[in-house]
Amino acid sequence: MKMVQLLTYAFVTLMVISSFSGNSGTYKNEKIALVFGETIYLKDLEPEERELDRYKRSYPYLSTAEIVNRVHNSKLTSLIWKQVVSQFSENYDVEPSQEEVDGYIHAMEALSSERPKSEANWRPTEIESEEIKEQISNIYKDFVRTYKISKKLYELYGGVVIFQQGNQLEPVGAYRKLLEFHESNKDFVIYNKEFKTSFWDYYVREHKSIIPEDKVDYTVPWWKRALEK
């Protein structure tokens, strides 16, 4: 029975993708966007099987077609932001120092109430420990970098700031202005209307958890401020 279900799922997935491509292959070769001089075709955004499986587990209520659309939009967004952030990082000093990363790590350790239960009886080898420490350090560095980018963007553009779990001072209004600048400069052009609507939705919608303007303060990183409470 399980094998039948797996085969059915594989067949449905294949049919969804094939139904778009047709015999001529025009679907896969459709131009979706131009991102910093590189043409992005729909085939560049197609999900791998492991991505479909991961999304299916996370969103069991979505159809395969809806999952494919989510992956398409997610990949396009990532391609655009990767180039935007790369250029922004060349123009402004947003790379975290080791001191800043260490400060973040110290804050996270101080704010953590307890270790995950899965780690209670776990003793890594020295090599595994070093590998994990490096991975965690890179994750922490990304959090600090995100804060520094957010701070600089708010200084440049202002706008709406919202609370997010991963970025407690997310300058979504500044994100929008930065993206509008690059779009007006033709750094990226989204040809497909549906993709364009999906891409801009997050930046133009009305958000919950808006932080009042007089409460927006980037002078001290949010993790240091949390230690003071």
In this structure, what token pair is assigned to residue 161? 């700031």
Q: Can you give the pTM of this predicted structure?
A: 0.78
Distance CA 142, CA 105 (A): 12
Domain boundaries of the chain, sorted by first residue: 1-91
Contacts made by residues 71-77, CB under 8 angstroms, sequence distance 24+: 71/45, 71/46, 71/47, 72/42, 72/45, 72/46, 72/47, 72/195, 73/195, 73/198, 73/199, 75/44, 75/45, 75/47, 76/32, 76/33, 76/40, 76/45, 76/190, 76/195, 76/199, 77/199
Distance CA 104, CA 6 (A): 44
DSSP codes, 31-90: EEEEETTEEEEGGGGPPPHHHHHHHHHH-TTS-HHHHHHHHHHHHHHHHHHHHHHHHHHH
Supply the Cα-derived Rg of the chain in whole angstroms: 21
Q: In what order do the strands lie in the sheet with 31-35?
A: 38-41, 31-35, 188-190
Task: Give pLDDT tens digits along the chain (229 positions).
Answer: 444 443 344 333 433 333 333 333 447 789 999 999 999 999 999 999 998 899 899 999 999 899 999 999 999 999 999 999 999 999 999 999 999 999 998 888 888 754 454 444 444 455 557 778 778 888 899 999 999 999 999 999 999 999 998 899 999 999 999 999 999 999 999 999 999 999 999 999 999 899 999 999 999 999 988 887 6
Task: Give the dihedral sign, CA 79/84/86/87.
Answer: positive
* H helix or E strand, kind and range, residue 25: none
Distance CA 180, CA 35 (A): 14
pLDDT of res. 191: 97
Place of tokens 């995100």: 146
Place of tokens 């779990």: 165
Distance CA 190, CA 34 (A): 6
* CA–CA distances in Å: residue 14 to residues 30, 48, 62, 65, 169: 19, 12, 16, 11, 42
Distance CA 209, CA 203 (A): 14
